[in-house]
Structure 1
Amino acid sequence: MIAGFRMACRAATAAAMLVLAAPGFSGGEHAALAAEKGVFFPESFTLSNGMEVVVINNPRVPVVTHMVWYKAGAADEERGKSGIAHFLEHLMFKGTKEVPAGAFSRIVAKNGGRDNAFTSWDYTAYYQNVARDRLELVMRMEADRMANLQLTDEAVYPERDVIVEERRQRVENEPDDRIGEQFNATLYVHHPYGTPIIGWPQEIRSLTREMAEDWYKTWYAPNNAVLVVSGDITVDELRPLAAKYYGVIPARELPKRDRVEEPPISAARRVILTDEEVRQPSIRRAWHAPSYRTDKDGHAYALQVLSEIMSGGSTSRLYRNLVVEQRVATSAYLGYGPNSWDDTSVVAGATPAAGVPMDKLEQALEEQIRRVVEQGVTAEEVATAKKRMLAEAAYARDSLTGPAQALGAAIATGQTIDDVENWPVRIDAVTAEQVNAAARAVLGQDNHVTGLLLPPKDKES
């Protein structure tokens, strides 16, 4: 799941690090500049039918990214109908009266562009990267399938078979994906984040055309969508086009986005998968954590800084201690993605160096977590991490697709444009005390889930 802003920042990491290392560059001066409000400097307006439109002007090349985000994903599905959000994503390419099945992508490609779509637990998004003078074409086609999708049994059921095969190849034949699926189901025993986005196999096979049409009619409305266009376009140029193609689609009454809450769980849990196909064993551990939207104690931004301290490059705590000094791991990480509608998680993990037993690696990882919980981080570590993060943010706008992804994901998960634009200011305000409080509150929990991916014992190195 995108944490949209982190995706945009990652795209800019290499450039940011080059600037930080350049002669004459003052990290403090750059941080002070980046900490001012503003990342992508978008403009926005709302159509009369309630559809929000966001424009990020970037005139460097005559190209645009056009994205439509629907505020509905796998976690909004009814129990027993897992995979319907992802299923409809596939079916959106099956055509309308104006654009027959399969023609959408062919037309985009014929006009020199590329297109795709993706589903998460919290949203579904469709995008095209095209030349500036082809923008109106893709807007017309995307608006057409928002309102006029036509599904037939002949189109629906073969596509369902395609998804069954996709699941078999990408999940059931891949040990890392299989343990990931079981790991999530153990971390979220009640909340729908524990259900795979692609769906459980027996439920995918039971999906019908009527279910897909019901999902489409329930969630695919302009007042439940966000249009984001990034690139060589201004808000004044886009406004009449948005009104012409999207503004004429009637708004519809939307259901409330109700979801069950994860019950309190006090026991640590373990998921172990041993498989002949495992070439690289690994360990992962996750703790429940607040997202931006659910954060009531002010931990979200502090957890981002903590993640940077623990695994932000070759000087981070985990890499330095586990890979360089102890040589028990070839890689180690601690990640946190705050862009979700409900509570999210902090995940730490590592892969062992050759000949290192998994129990030794687990102990070493646990020790690093224990140290940060009990001893905390220093003000110097926080200052260094913030400089890196702010430098990345300053370069995030250089990407064409990154800003559209960041803003779309943020709005679809309950944030505002102002939240995104204030990110540098809020990160810059994080203190060591706040990072330490967040570490204790999240990593100090004893209800974590540990996952071990292992080869058979006779194949362990």
Structure 2
Amino acid sequence: MLRLRYLAALPFVALVLIVALGLVFGRGNTLATGAAPISFALENGMNVLVIPDHRAPVVTHMVWYEVGAADETPGKTGLAHFFEHLMFKGTEKIAPGQFSRIVARNGGQDNAFTHYDFTAYFQVIAKDRLPLVMEMEADRMINLELTDAEVLPERDVVLEELRMRIENSPSALLQSEMNAALYGGHPYGRDIIGHKSEISQLGTEDALDFYRRFYTPNNATLIVAGDITADELKPLAERYYGSIARRAPNFVRERPSVEWPGEDKRIVRRDPRVNEATWMRYYPAPSYASAREEEAPVFDVLAEILGGGTTSRLYRALVVEQGVAAGVQSWYEGSRLDEGKFGIYALPRAGGALDALEKAVEQEVARLLETGVTDEELERAKTVIVASAVYARDSQRSMAYAYGEGLMTGLGVEDIHEWPERVAAVTKDDVLAAAKKIFEGTHFVTGELLPGEDS
């Protein structure tokens, strides 16, 4: 079964497709339901959020842990993602490898994913099977059994995943270097999957220590979206999760501040596996959490106007009018507890030079800073983003993910629920101010991926 274990390491083109579906970054956070979700807390400190959606007798059950790749002990990178794999090993009640099989036999689907700031597990299943998956998830929260026989082979699986997703992907290798150059010594500057040399040294005791410290109800949030009410869910949550005692104190994050580059940086990577050149640029940007409340949605609008589709500034200028690009995209990555980033990605026309492409991108950015945006551009961008939020309501899993991701990265339920309204309130002056914040007086990281001998 495919697991969404390492989204941040996917080649950027794949990420663009995921973004377009509203599953991960940017617009995924603009989701809101028609009725506000209901939240409450259990006595053991576990938070609960209910998102009613009564169109079908189905529910999405998610447990989110407030620990991710950015919270790992120095020298043990990759442990958060590695442990996500290990959660599918067994307990006294459920044999190793049987968790997903039980869910499938009951007509459901399950998955998991690791982020810099969180780790989450979910099941989509018929409402009458909800108690089953709640019991199973609660069981592995406290009763996971790990020995070298389960841990060490799974470590090899993670190492193979690293080889496939990073080492065998020139684009992923370039992005890794660019993130390191942008974020410096902050944990966001390393890959979620971790460093190969450190993963290879992780053992059973490392996993058990991580489990005991972070997989405790007072470090978790339960989200259930679907055909259920808060009155129905509360006794189930108390029965299955409320009986689990805290086994560690509340986790207080201690991370270094992000220190942005003091000068522009350029990373050039040549690889014989590359057929066509690629150009990318990363700019420092606040995250949704670190931006001012009224400022947060503006960066999404800016990204849509500048390079969000075939009507965007960059596409019209570089692809349609000048013919120097075969494709171009801009995006804003704000779903971080600490700082985010703003990116531009472009493919030159066959045989085209990257320097001409880069010059054209810079000219369009300069033009936007000089002239601002038009009423038409603003309304089109806001319409696209708000429509994306409305359409995403058709997916229970997207609803649950959007709220979970937002809560794990510093937003409140109200922030997420009211996101479309906040987008609709963005003005032309807001967009110009955001553009100046991103593009003026900051130092960026430029990446070039070229055919040729290994670099």
TM-score by length of 2: 0.91
Give the aligned partner of residue 447 of structure 1.
443
Q: How many equivalent residue pairs?
A: 433
Match for residue 389 of structure 2 among 393, 397, 402: 393
| Distance change >3 Å, CA 158–CA 9, structure 1 → 2 | closer
Give the aligned partner of residue 232 of structure 2.
237
| Cα shift readout 1:357-403 (whole Å, capped 9, x = no counterpart) | 11111111121122222332223321221122222222221112100
Conserved 8 A contact 2:181-2:261: no
| Cα shift readout 1:219-260 (whole Å, capped 9, x = no counterpart) | 111111111111222222111111110111112312311110
Superposition pairs of residues 429-440 of structure 1, within 5 angstroms? 429-440=425-436
Amino acid at match of 1:139: M
| Distance change >3 Å, CA 39–CA 326, structure 1 → 2 | farther
| Distance change >3 Å, CA 380–CA 412, structure 1 → 2 | same
Amino acid at match of 1:440: K
| Distance change >3 Å, CA 284–CA 125, structure 1 → 2 | same
Match for residue 222 of structure 2 among 222, 227, 243: 227
Conserved 8 A contact 2:181-2:445: yes
| Alpha-carbon offset, residue 40 of structure 1 | 5.7
Superposition pairs of residues 36-115 of structure 1, within 5 angstroms? 41-115=36-110
| Alpha-carbon offset, residue 9 of structure 1 | 8.3
| Alpha-carbon offset, residue 39 of structure 1 | 5.1
Match for residue 11 of structure 1 among 21, 37, 47: 21
| Cα shift readout 1:176-217 (whole Å, capped 9, x = no counterpart) | 111111111111111100111111110001111111111111
1:373 corresponds to 2:369:
yes
Q: For the residues of structure 1 that align with 2:226 and 2:438, how far apart are their CA atoms?
A: 39
Amino acid at match of 1:133: D
Conserved 8 A contact 1:335-1:348: yes
Match for residue 241 of structure 2 among 218, 242, 246: 246
Give the aligned partner of residue 300 of structure 2.
304
1:340 corresponds to 2:336:
yes
| Alpha-carbon offset, residue 161 of structure 1 | 1.0
| Cα shift readout 1:89-143 (whole Å, capped 9, x = no counterpart) | 0111111111121110111111111111110101001011112221111110001
Match for residue 320 of structure 1 among 316, 322, 334: 316
CA-atom RMSD in angstroms: 2.1
| Alpha-carbon offset, residue 342 of structure 1 | 0.4
Give the aligned partner of residue 361 of structure 1.
357
More relative contact order in 1 or in 2 (CA 8 Å, sep 6+)? 1
Conserved 8 A contact 1:292-1:340: yes
Q: For the residues of structure 2 that align with 1:77 and 1:291, how far apart are their CA atoms?
A: 21
Match for residue 122 of structure 2 among 127, 130, 134: 127
Amino acid at match of 2:240: Y
Conserved 8 A contact 1:8-1:402: no
Q: For the residues of structure 2 that align with 1:410 and 1:12, how far apart are their CA atoms?
A: 13
Amino acid at match of 1:246: Y
Secondary structure at 2:210's aligned position in 1?
Answer: helix
Match for residue 410 of structure 1 among 406, 411, 419: 406
| Distance change >3 Å, CA 105–CA 38, structure 1 → 2 | closer
Conserved 8 A contact 1:38-1:422: no
Q: For the residues of structure 2 that align with 1:234 and 1:11, how far apart are their CA atoms?
A: 27
Conserved 8 A contact 2:333-2:342: yes
| Alpha-carbon offset, residue 10 of structure 1 | 3.9
Q: Deviation above 6 Å: which 4+ runs of structure 1?
A: 6-9
| Cα shift readout 1:388-440 (whole Å, capped 9, x = no counterpart) | 22222222211121000000001111111011112122112211111101101
| Distance change >3 Å, CA 314–CA 304, structure 1 → 2 | same
| Distance change >3 Å, CA 192–CA 310, structure 1 → 2 | same
| Alpha-carbon offset, residue 296 of structure 1 | 4.2
TM-score by length of 1: 0.90
Secondary structure at 2:120's aligned position in 1?
Answer: strand
Conserved 8 A contact 2:58-2:125: yes
Identity %: 48
Higher alpha-carbon deviation: 338-347 or 245-254: 245-254
| Distance change >3 Å, CA 255–CA 399, structure 1 → 2 | closer
Higher alpha-carbon deviation: 98-107 or 292-301: 292-301
Q: For the residues of structure 2 that align with 1:40 and 1:149, how far apart are their CA atoms?
A: 37
Secondary structure at 1:94's aligned position in 2?
Answer: coil
Conserved 8 A contact 2:279-2:447: yes
Higher alpha-carbon deviation: 153-162 or 444-453: 444-453
Give the aligned partner of residue 27 of structure 2.
none
1:217 corresponds to 2:227:
no
Higher alpha-carbon deviation: 37-46 or 378-387: 37-46
Give the aligned partner of residue 196 of structure 2.
201
Superposition pairs of residues 131-280 of structure 1, within 5 angstroms? 131-251=126-246, 252-280=248-276
Structure 2 portions without partners, runs of 5+: 1-6, 9-15, 24-29
Secondary structure at 2:249's aligned position in 1?
Answer: coil
Conserved 8 A contact 1:7-1:406: no
Amino acid at match of 2:171: D
| Alpha-carbon offset, residue 319 of structure 1 | 1.3
Q: For the residues of structure 1 that align with 2:20 and 2:171, how far apart are their CA atoms?
A: 23
Q: For the residues of structure 1 that align with 2:60 and 2:392, how far apart are their CA atoms?
A: 15
Give the aligned partner of residue 26 of structure 2.
none
Secondary structure at 1:230's aligned position in 2?
Answer: strand
Secondary structure at 2:104's aligned position in 1?
Answer: helix
Conserved 8 A contact 1:116-1:127: yes
